[in-house]
Amino acid sequence: MSNLVEVKNLCVDYITFDGPIRAVTDVNFNIKKGEILGLAGESGCGKSTIAFSLMRLHRPPALISEGKIEFEGKNVLEMSDSELRKYRWQGASMVFQSAMNCLNPVKTIEYQFWDVFDAHDMVSNREESIKKAKELLRIVDIPEDRLFDYPHQFSGGMRQRVVIAMALALKPKLLIMDEPTTALDVVVQREILQKVYQLKEQFGFSILFITHDLSLMVEFCDRIGIMYSGQLVELAPAKEILQSPYHPYSDGLGNSFPTLIGDLQEMRGIPGTPLDLSKVPPGCRFAPRCHLAKETCHIKPPHIHQQNECRLVACHYPINTSDNRDQLPIKLTQVAEV
């Protein structure tokens, strides 16, 4: 699979009155064609900042201070206004956490589809827009006669499906979903993700799926990147992250929710609180909370490196690797087969 997106050395700062705060530090990853890549990590670790940067939707005080975001080989950060217009919606589109904030409450769904189609010259008249919008509603399992309703007449799950249909309106190659189902109950959450997966198989787009819910992600993603304090600390095939995490933080995240099969295990969680980005320590950012940290960890920052063929990790003493599996017998998390 070739790469659709390549993020290279991305650094994003928020310019505050107390000086710049680096919310994303030197992040590298790629998204392959047709792949679902997940980004997980605690609140405030920089996931949304990356999503907004990919869409070039970041606004002051956010500033991309270093790095490149390449989409099909073209740097998104250097696109002209007209290129950017085409890139948004047709190249990449985004589903935000709260559908209610994306839909205009005083306009019908029909009008909002028309607005998108018209702005991108995708239809020649209103009838054509209605026809296309009905098709899109159908693919997300919403009866087409609901097209003329207002957002408040839909349930939360339906609204989120409308937003997904809208995001797919211009057949994007990349769908970015930033906590798309966090506000919904688990049953609706699952239904929506199954639908998105089906659509991905049907249309072949790639997905960047962002959530703090690692258990949801493991079912849905091909690979998962784990973020901590603005840095990518591990990147691996989805199930490997849970079965044999290399980074102690990934291990902690995996142990923060109960398994569905096997013996009851005590959940360990992660002690401490996320780092204050205005006071970044000299060594590894996770070291103050890491139960395996040694002296080096507090002095020297680890760089993300290829630990094996398909896995990257930023840790001086990665766990569960062949180098030190014996010395550090971390209990492997049992993964529910779904």
Ligand X SMILES: Nc1ncnc2c1ncn2[C@@H]1O[C@H](COP(=O)(O)OP(=O)(O)O)[C@@H](O)[C@H]1O
Query: Among 6, 8, 11, 14, which residue interacts with ligand X (rule: CB under 6 A)?
Result: 14
Query: Among 1, 9, 16, 306, which residue interacts with ligand X (rule: CB under 6 A)?
Result: 16
Distances 193 to 11, 210, 254, 271 between C-alpha atoms, Å: 30, 12, 20, 31
Q: Does 258 bind ligand X (CB under 6 A)?
A: no
Q: Which residue has the tokens 């990934």?
A: 250
* Both structure tokens of 298: 């507090």
Q: Taking the alpha carbons of 43, 49, 50, 55 in that order, is the dihedral positive or negative?
A: positive
Instruction: Say how many C-beta atoms besides its own lie within 10 A of residue 173's C-beta.
Output: 20
φ, ψ at 183 (rounded to 5°):
-85, 0
Residues 272-301 that bind ligand X (CB under 6 A): 277
Given the rule CB under 6 A, which of 13-21, 193-201, 255-263, 306-314 is the region that contacts ligand X? Answer: 13-21
Choose the one of ligand X, Mg ion, none that binds residue 46, judging by a C-beta under 5 to 8 angstroms depending on kind: ligand X
The amino acid at 145? D
Report DSSP state, residue 235.
E
- Give the number of residues written for the chain: 338
Of the two residues 48 and 160, which places its CB atom closer to ligand X in the complex? Answer: 48
Instruction: Say how many C-beta atoms besides its own lie within 10 A of residue 111's C-beta.
Output: 16
CA-based nearest residue to 331, from 267, 235, 239, 260: 267
- Binding track, positions 19-38, relative to ligand X; x by CB under 6 A: --x-x---------------
Q: Does 45 bind ligand X (CB under 6 A)?
A: yes
Of the two residues 47 and 223, which places its CB atom closer to ligand X in the complex? Answer: 47
Q: Does 92 bind ligand X (CB under 6 A)?
A: no
141 φψ region: left (φ > 0), alpha (ψ -120 to 50), beta (else): left
Least spacing, CB of residue 63 vs ligand X, in Å: 11
Question: What are the strands, taking DSSP E only, across the chain?
Answer: 3-16, 19-32, 36-40, 62-71, 74-75, 92-95, 174-178, 206-211, 223-228, 231-237, 305-308, 311-313
What residue is closest to Mg ion based on CB? 48
CA 22 remoteness from chain centre: 19
**Which residues of this protein are in contact with Mg ion, per CB under 5 A?**
48
Least spacing, CB of residue 178 vs Mg ion, in Å: 6
Of the two residues 48 and 189, which places its CB atom closer to ligand X in the complex? Answer: 48
Q: Does 11 bind ligand X (CB under 6 A)?
A: no
Choose the one of ligand X, Mg ion, none that binds residue 278, judging by a C-beta under 5 to 8 angstroms depending on kind: none
Given the rule CB under 6 A, which of 46-54, 63-71, 105-113, 162-170 is the region that contacts ligand X? Answer: 46-54
Q: Does 181 bind ligand X (CB under 6 A)?
A: no
Q: Which residues pair with 226 in a beta bridge?
A: 40, 234
Least spacing, CB of residue 96 vs Mg ion, in Å: 9
Q: Does 101 bind ligand X (CB under 6 A)?
A: no
Choose the one of ligand X, Mg ion, none that binds residue 111, judging by a C-beta under 5 to 8 angstroms depending on kind: none
Least spacing, CB of residue 235 vs ligand X, in Å: 16
Choose the one of ligand X, Mg ion, none that binds residue 16, judging by a C-beta under 5 to 8 angstroms depending on kind: ligand X
Which residue ranges make up the site for ligand X (CB under 6 A)? 14, 16, 21, 23, 41, 43-49, 61, 277
